[in-house]
C-alpha cells in the first residue's frame, strides 16, 4: 500500500526490543517491487510490445503512407478494381491489396489505428476523470451523497448502449466527438462503482483515522491519503477498458453509425468487406483490419493482466 499517515503514527509505538544482529537486507521500493514482478511476466511484456507497435504505426501512419507514395487514406486507384467491381489482391505495390473503391488497404489500416486509438484513449481519460471523482465522493461521503450518485449510476447503466449510440449518431450525424461522448458516457459508471468500493474500504483504514486526528480536512484526506492508494487499480482498469472502447468504436463503425466516410476506421472497413468475403472474394479486405483490431485488443489485455499481477502485493513472485 502507498505510504500514508498511519506509517508515521505507528513508527513510535512500543514493541519488542532490538532484534538480534543479522545480515542487512536492502529494502526495495514499491517501484522496484513492481518492476521485478513485471519483468518476469513474459506474456505481459509481449502484450506491451504489441501495444507499443500499434501505437507507433498509428503515430507514423502519415510518414509511412508518404514513403510508399500513397499520400492519402482516401486516395482511389481505379486500375485496382477488375471489370466485375471486385478489388484486386496484394502485390509488390499494394501489400494488403485494395478495397471496394480501389483504396490501399495497408494505408487505411494504418490510419484506422489512429482513429481507434485516439477515440479509445480520449474516451478512457474522460471515463477515468468522471468515474474516479464521483466514485470517491460516493464512497467517502456516504449518506445522501452516496445514495444520489449510486442511483444516478444505476440510471445510466439501465440505458441500452447500442440503442442510444445509434439514435444519437443518426440524429447528430455522427463524428469522432460524438463517439467519444457515447463511449465515455456509458463507461464511467463501471469505474465509479469500483472506486466507490475501494474508497469505502480505505475510509475505515487506520491511516485515515490518524489523518483525522491530526486535523486533516476531508478534501485533504480524499486527495492526499485515499487517492494515492487508488492509483494501482485505476492504472490496471484503464489498460483493460481501452480495448473495450476500441471494440465499442469498431462496433459502432461496423453498424454505420461511427466515424463518417471517407475516414478510415477498422469497423467501417470490416462492414464494407463483409459482402465480398461472404461471396468468397477479397479475403484481404477483411483480414488485415481484423488482424489489426485483434492485435491491439490482445496487446492491451495482456498488458493489463500483467500490470494487475505486478501491482498486486499478494502476488508471490
DSSP 104: B
Asked if residues 87 and 76 have their Cβ atoms less than 8 Å apart, the reply is no
Residue 150 domain-assigned (yes or no): yes
Whether 287 is covered by a domain: the verdict is yes
Q: Which grid cell is 202?
A: 480505505
How far is 259 from 192, CA to CA, in rounded Å?
28
pLDDT (tens digit per residue) in 180-209: 988 999 889 989 988 888 888 887 777 777
Give the pLDDT confidence of 97-151 residue by residue, as tens digits.
Answer: 888 888 889 999 999 999 999 999 999 999 999 999 999 888 887 788 888 998 9
pLDDT grade, residue 47 (50/70/90)?
A: very high
Q: For residue 24, give the DSSP letter.
A: -
- State the CB neighbour count (10 A cutoff) for residue 3: 11
Is residue 61 predicted with pLDDT exceeding 70? yes
SS3 call for 85: coil
**CA 46 centroid distance within chain:** 17
pTM: 0.81
* Parent domain of 128: 41-311
pLDDT above 60: residue 155: yes
Q: Residue 10: is its pLDDT beyond 70? A: no
**Within a domain: 27:** no
CA distance 168 to 148: 26
Give CA angle at 154 (149, 156), nearest 5°. 95
Beta bridge partner(s), residue 87: 81
- pLDDT of 86-96, one tens digit each? 888 888 888 89
Percent of the chain with pLDDT over 70: 88
- CA-CA distance, 51 to 248, in Å (whole number)? 18
Give domain status of residue 145, yes or no: yes
DSSP 130-142: HHHHHHHHHHHH-
Instruction: Give me the phi and psi of 151, to 5 degrees please.
Output: -70, -35
Least confident of 41-45, 228-232, 308-312: 308-312
117 close to 54: Cβ distance less than 8 angstroms: yes
Residues 204-246 have pLDDT tens digits of 777 777 777 777 677 777 777 788 888 888 888 888 899 999 9
**Has residue 230 been placed in a domain?**
yes
- Please give the pLDDT value at position 314: 60
Q: How many domains does the chain have?
A: 1
Is the Cβ–Cβ distance between 217 and 224 less than 8 Å?
no
Please report, for the domain that includes residue 171, its CATH number. 1.10.3720.10
Contact 231, 195 (CB under 8 A): no
Examine residue 12 and state whether it is found in any structural domain, yes or no.
no
How high is the pLDDT of residue 5? 52
- Residue 35 belongs to some domain of the structure: no
Q: Would you state the pLDDT for residue 4? A: 54
- DSSP characters for 214-271? TT--HHHIIIIIIHHHHHHHHHHHHHHHHHHHHHHHHHHHHTT-SSPTTS--HHHHHH
Give the model's pLDDT for residue 14: 46
Strand partners, 76: 103
Question: 304 lies in a domain?
Answer: yes
Contact call for residues 189 and 134 (beta carbons, < 8 A): no
**DSSP 8-state secondary structure symbol assigned to residue 11:** G
Amino acid at each position: 500500500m502507498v505510504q500514508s499517515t498511519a506509517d508515521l503514527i505507528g513508527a513510535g509505538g512500543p514493541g519488542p526490543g532490538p532484534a538480534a544482529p543479522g545480515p542487512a537486507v536492502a529494502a526495495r521500493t514499491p517501484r522496484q517491487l513492481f518492476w521485478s514482478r513485471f519483468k518476469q511476466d513474459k506474456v505481459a511484456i509481449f502484450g506491451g510490445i504489441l501495444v507499443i507497435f500499434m501505437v507507433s504505426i498509428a503515430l507514423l501512419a502519415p510518414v509511412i503512407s508518404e514513403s510508399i507514395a500513397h499520400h492519402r487514406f482516401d486516395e482511389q486507384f481505379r486500375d485496382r478494381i477488375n471489370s466485375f467491381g471486385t478489388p484486386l489482391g496484394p502485390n509488390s505495390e499494394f501489400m494488403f491489396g485494395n478495397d471496394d473503391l480501389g483504396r490501399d488497404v495497408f494505408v487505411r489500416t494504418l490510419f484506422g489505428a489512429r482513429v481507434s486509438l485516439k477515440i479509445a484513449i480520449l474516451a478512457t481519460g474522460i471515463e477515468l476523470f468522471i468515474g474516479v471523482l464521483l466514485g470517491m465522493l460516493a464512497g467517502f461521503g456516504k449518506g445522501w451523497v452516496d445514495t444520489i450518485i449510486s442511483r444516478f449510476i444505476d440510471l445510466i447503466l439501465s440505458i441500452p448502449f447500442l440503442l442510444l449510440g445509434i439514435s444519437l449518431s443518426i440524429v447528430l450525424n455522427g463524428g469522432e466527438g460524438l463517439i467519444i461522448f457515447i463511449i465515455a458516457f456509458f463507461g464511467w459508471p463501471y469505474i465509479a462503482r469500483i472506486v466507490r468500493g475501494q474508497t469505502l474500504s480505505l475510509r475505515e483504514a487506520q491511516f485515515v483515522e490518524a489523518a483525522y486526528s491530526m486535523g486533516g480536512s476531508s478534501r485533504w484526506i480524499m486527495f492526499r491519503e485515499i487517492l494515492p492508494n487508488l492509483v494501482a487499480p485505476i492504472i490496471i482498469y484503464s489498460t483493460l477498458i481501452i480495448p473495450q472502447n476500441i471494440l465499442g468504436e469498431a462496433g459502432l463503425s461496423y453498424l454505420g453509425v461511427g466515424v463518417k466516410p471517407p475516414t478510415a476506421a477498422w469497423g467501417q472497413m470490416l462492414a464494407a468487406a463483409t459482402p465480398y468475403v461472404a461471396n468468397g472474394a477479397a479475403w484481404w479486405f477483411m483480414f488485415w483490419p481484423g488482424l489489426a483490431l485483434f492485435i491491439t485488443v490482445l496487446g492491451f489485455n495482456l498488458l493489463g493482466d500483467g500490470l494487475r499481477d505486478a501491482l498486486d502485493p499478494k502476488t508471490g513472485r
